[in-house]
């Protein structure tokens, strides 16, 4: 029994979180902001967030968001390859920002990156015509696409290269 001056504290039963609570947490709202909006303490919001059913729902929501993002990225691969192809084959187009964007999409879609190879010795490109240099680069790109298993894209680039051939 509690002595005089001390209160007997019985833990209160925690009510279920209100509708929309999980969506607010998933959207990144802070516990303080949610508490202010709901008119409760931050401790109550923190306790709700620790409930197993809330944790499970948040985990499910995160999985849904990741799956949707992956699906969207996958749908962009062909467009990224088209962009790379267009920039690589257009001698008038500097295109470095577009190429970097296309490469970023390919990278985030989980395709392997190429490895840098250290070259030793000298290489003078000035004596090689620009068209020949471009052809070597595009042929290398075709080989890379094939090594990634992107045979259809490699065939399309090779076809475009052969149509450009003098």
pLDDT tens digit sequence for 52-82: 999 999 899 888 888 888 888 888 888 887 8
Say how many C-beta atoms besides its own lie within 10 A of residue 72's C-beta: 9
**Is 133 within a domain?**
yes
- Give the residue with greater pLDDT, 62 vs 164: 62
Q: Are 60 and 80 within one domain? A: no
**Is 117 within a domain?**
no
> How far is 128 from 119, CA to CA, in rounded Å?
18
Taking the complete model, does pTM exceed 0.85, yes or no? no
For residue 50, the model assigns a pLDDT of 93
Residue 166's pLDDT band (boundaries 50, 70, 90)? low
Residue 49's domain spans which residues?
A: 21-68
**Is 7 within a domain?**
no
Q: Are 31 and 95 within one domain? A: no
Whether 119 shows a pLDDT value over 50: the answer reads no
């Amino acid at each position: 029994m509690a002595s005089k001056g001390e209160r007997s504290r019985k833990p209160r039963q925690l009510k279920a979180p209100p509708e929309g609570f999980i969506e607010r947490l998933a959207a990144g709202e802070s516990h303080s902001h949610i508490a202010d909006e709901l008119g409760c303490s931050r401790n109550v919001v923190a306790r709700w967030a620790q409930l197993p059913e809330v944790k499970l729902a948040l985990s499910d929501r995160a999985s849904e968001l990741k799956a949707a993002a992956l699906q969207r990225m996958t749908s962009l691969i062909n467009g990224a390859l088209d962009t790379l192809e267009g920039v690589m084959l257009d001698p008038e187009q500097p295109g470095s920002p577009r190429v970097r964007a296309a490469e970023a999409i390919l990278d985030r879609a989980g395709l392997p990156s190429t490895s840098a190879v250290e070259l030793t010795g000298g290489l003078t490109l000035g004596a090689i015509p620009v068209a020949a240099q471009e052809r070597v680069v595009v042929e290398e790109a075709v080989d890379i696409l094939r090594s990634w298993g992107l045979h259809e894209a490699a065939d399309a680039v090779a076809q475009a290269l052969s149509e450009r051939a003098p």
